[in-house]
Amino acid sequence: MDRNLALELVRVTESAALVSSGFMGKGDKNGADGAAVEAMRKAFESVKINGEVVIGEGELDEAPMLYVGEKVGMATDDCMEVDIAVDPLDGTTLIAKGLPNAIAVIAMGSKGSLLNAPDTYMKKIIVGPKAKGCIDLNKSAEENIINVAKALGKKPSQMTITVQDRERHDYIVDAARKLGARIKMFGDGDVATGIATCFEDTGIDMLMGIGGGPEGVITAAAIKCMGGDMQAQIYPLSDQERERCHEMGFSDEDIQKVLTIEDLAKGDDLFFAATGITEGDLLKGVRLNGNNQATTQSVVMRAKTGTIRFVDAIHNLNKNELLVELMAKYEA
């Protein structure tokens, strides 16, 4: 894929972030998500790809979707066919409450590269490059912490494990505390938290737990770009979710299979882009300045080269027709 597409993807995530940022702290998570979806959908119209959404918003958020199977991009004869995975607003509850780490995010790969995961839960372990090859979802949480610590040259008591603050993760918390490891809880925002494992200055050594399946695929694309490692398993928590898996073509054997990062995001023809909406551990949030300007911070990655770029941008909100239209609509 054309490496210049990386910046085009950043423009798409920036649009979603800027338009949805007006909802920060207003308690309307569906309104924020709807704004992000519309902005992302319209911004895609100027991107020179023939894209198909293989990971969309899912049906659990009860919000407008970039639905699975939707076509995005200019789609002219000379456009490359690509898979698109989107989460226009990862962290709807975060933005509604004005909490950190809400982001707009896209992963893109060549046709067939991204797993079309069902919109159910997924069990995950994520680590950075130094611990690549040292995780095993079939082993206990305690064994995985010990093995990752060894790879990182640390004692288990020096490890920091990030876990979503849910009762279903009590077994991970108990295992970590038994070893003397530190636990860092997070409420929402699977993607941003998973990516943090690959940046040493975040202080996060690994993520474990059960979170969103679609978010897992998006995260896998980023982890692949950064040389980290991830294992996952489709993990329905109810009969309804299991039936949803079956509807999407996943057998009970598929559900039980441990998925490697290559199963989730194949090959090296992958891009990942994200823009901060609220202030976060990795990215700054949208900031409105005087003279109708706004600043954003984004990250964009390419698996083929392993390049990671941070993009700081100043936006003149009077000169971008798309932003003028949508920000006026959602302020009304």
Mean pLDDT of 109-137: 95
Q: Is 262 annotated as a binding residue?
A: no
Tokens 């989730």, located at residue? 264
In Å, the largest CA–CA distance within the chain is: 59
**pLDDT digits over 196-220, tens only?**
999 989 999 999 999 999 999 999 9
Q: Is 91 annotated as a binding residue?
A: yes
Mean pLDDT of 184-202: 93
**pLDDT digits over 144-162, tens only?**
999 999 999 999 999 999 9
**Where does the pLDDT of residue 61 fall: very low under 50, low under 70, confident under 90, or very high at 90 and above?**
very low
Q: Show the domains of the chain with their CATH numbers.
A: 4-112+269-299+307-330 (3.30.540.10), 121-264 (3.40.190.90)
Q: Is 69 annotated as a binding residue?
A: no
- Looking at per-residue pLDDT, the higher value among 56 and 106 belongs to 106
**Where does the pLDDT of residue 63 fall: very low under 50, low under 70, confident under 90, or very high at 90 and above?**
very low
Residue 125: the pLDDT is 98
Residue 62: the pLDDT is 47
Q: Is 90 annotated as a binding residue?
A: yes
Paired tokens of 44: 């895609």
Q: Is the pLDDT of residue 281 over 90?
A: no
Q: Is 121 annotated as a binding residue?
A: yes
**For residues 265 and 116, is the Cβ–Cβ distance under 8 A?**
no
Q: Is 269 annotated as a binding residue?
A: no
Residue 65: the pLDDT is 66
- Residue 160: phi, psi to the nearest 5? -120, 120
Q: Extract long-range pairs of 58-62: CB within 8 Å, 24+ residues apart.
A: 58/119, 58/212, 58/214, 59/119, 60/119, 60/212, 61/30, 61/33, 61/92, 62/30
The distance of Cα 262 from the centroid of its chain, to the nearest Å, equals 17
Q: Is 215 annotated as a binding residue?
A: yes
Q: Is 168 annotated as a binding residue?
A: yes
**pLDDT digits over 67-90, tens only?**
888 899 999 988 999 999 999 999
Mean pLDDT of 249-258: 94
Mean pLDDT of 274-301: 94
**For the chain, what percent of residues have pLDDT higher than 70?**
97
Q: From the CA atom positions of the chain, what is the Rg in Å?
A: 19
Q: Is 202 annotated as a binding residue?
A: no
Residue 322: the pLDDT is 87
Q: Is the pLDDT of residue 130 over 80?
A: yes
**pLDDT digits over 24-51, tens only?**
999 999 999 999 999 999 999 999 999 9
Q: Is 180 annotated as a binding residue?
A: no
- Looking at per-residue pLDDT, the higher value among 61 and 305 belongs to 305
Of 2-11, 49-58, 69-78, 301-310, the least confident: 49-58
Q: Is 252 annotated as a binding residue?
A: no
Q: Is 209 annotated as a binding residue?
A: no
